[in-house]
Structure 1
Amino acid sequence: MELQTRIGSPAERQIAPADVDGATLFVGATGRDLREFLFTDTEQAYQAADIAVLSRHLMLDPLEMAFDQTRRVLWIPRNDGKCCAVTIDRNSNVAAWSLLETEGSFQALAMHEGGLLMLVERHSGLCLERLSNAAILDHQQTFTSPTPKDGWEGFAQWSGERRFVIADGVALGEIEIDGDEVLIDRAANALAVGLPFVHAIEGLPLDFGARGAAPDAPYRPVRISLRVGSTDSLTLDAGAGFRALDLGGPHDADRTQDVSVRALGWRRGLQYPPWRITQQAPGALNLLSVTVEAKVNI
């Protein structure tokens, strides 16, 4: 037997490795690193590079992991009830980390027939939930009726809680549920009820040190350009507060478009992100890239 790596794996639990494009991903013995195990021709040996070097704050006490081939996302639930999502494309050298939180805690997950199933502990008990691109709310349940109606039953499990309601594709906002029946303002054939999905995206602080300037040199963002795919709404803070951007209405899911925003004011490189996106409007958001054009005071 030939020893290939000295990294090891966690001793307190067994976490099955995941195969991603010919590489084997496994959690190291510390539980804070995600290793990519593969044979390299240049070294003529097996290597186990850590792809979580800059994501130690996210890689905390993982429980297990599963790779979604369709979305190209590695899902890693944590012991604190949160879940890491790592978008991986080895051909483009991409490993993008994000953190998911829900009203409850992620307990386990598995891939089944091409879909991701999650075991989530909520106030109402354990729920088996399936990740779906058609769902625009978290923990979504859909009710239908052959005839339009404004009174809907079956809400006793959420009594005393607030839920976001969408009737026939129209967002009605959050309502307080105080019993089994809910009355809405308009009659509808379909009612979607769930938790609003709040997403927050921030750009990394700009570092101008490589160009001869101080790492925290004052800079002024001139233009922030965003490329989006199928997106229903977009709220951006370019330094003057959040405001909704005009996307020109819904468009084809296969078509991309560019949106540019002018920014004002001087900032310091490492104090604040150059831009932020935070919103909970139901609907699609497909952010492909962000480019910042800035002037630097060297």
Structure 2
Amino acid sequence: KERGLFRGIEDNPMVVPLCNRSKDVVEPLLRPQWEWCISRQLWWGHRIPAYFVTVSDPAVPPGEDPDGRYWVSGRNEAEAREKAAKEFGVSPDKISLQQDEDVLDTWFSSGLFPLSILGWPNQSEDLSVFYPGTLLETGHDILFFWVARMVMLGLKLTGRLPFREVYLHAIVRDAHGRKMSKSLGNVIDPLDVIYGISLQGLHDQLLNSNLDPSEVEKAKEGQKADFPAGIPECGTDALRFGLCAYTSQGRDINLDVNRILGYRHFCNKLWNATKFALRGLGKGFVP
């Protein structure tokens, strides 16, 4: 204003972002990236190589879980035992170890994908021939989670990038634009679109899954709302047609089964029109 450069202030409409889980207003702020929490409480995964130490020596007081001094890590239990013995100044036979029950974040193990499929850490022929790769194809939603982790681990363990190019494709969502989730009951199996499935059949799939009973009921309500009569049989051609047609709409695909059904009807019309034309042209017609 003092320099005469100020022209004025105008109010502009904007979309207020909401958290898809809590529905709280999300205000983006610039801040340093926090550290990666690598531990998960899951049944499957690489167990964290950290051990809680118990020392069978009256001179060493027992430790508690939050006490970092009583936790050691190692590539195996023997290495961890040696570290603990050195830390507390006792012989290794007085050390008892209990490994952490948590497992590493799934992206930690998934990040090893370019290496593990080729036999790493063994220096196999496949590893020498096919690593690094050239192109990775994946959805844009896991660019930071999966792609970045593969780059980090590849550089750390081999000193080379696992690939040079990344092709990010659209994400297939439900008709309402929501990400497909088992707990929402909006997951669409391509085979169910091809062959069709009743509403009860969709419910049975939930019962055979590993969802919590409370989530099963929530998912059933979602299925009733989205597929009250089940999913009609659309066939392979209609599904392919629909996916190809959706590629022009933008970054994500909001898959509507009714639209796929419309393409099935179109394919039927095209088939019938072709049969009618061929019948009129006769058997000797050569295009």
Does the TM-score normalized on the shorter chain lie above 0.5?
no
Structure with greater strand percent: 1
Structure with greater helix percent: 2
Which of 1 and 2 has greater Rg? Answer: 2
Which TM class, normalised by the smaller chain length?
Answer: under 0.3
TM-score using structure 1 length = 0.22
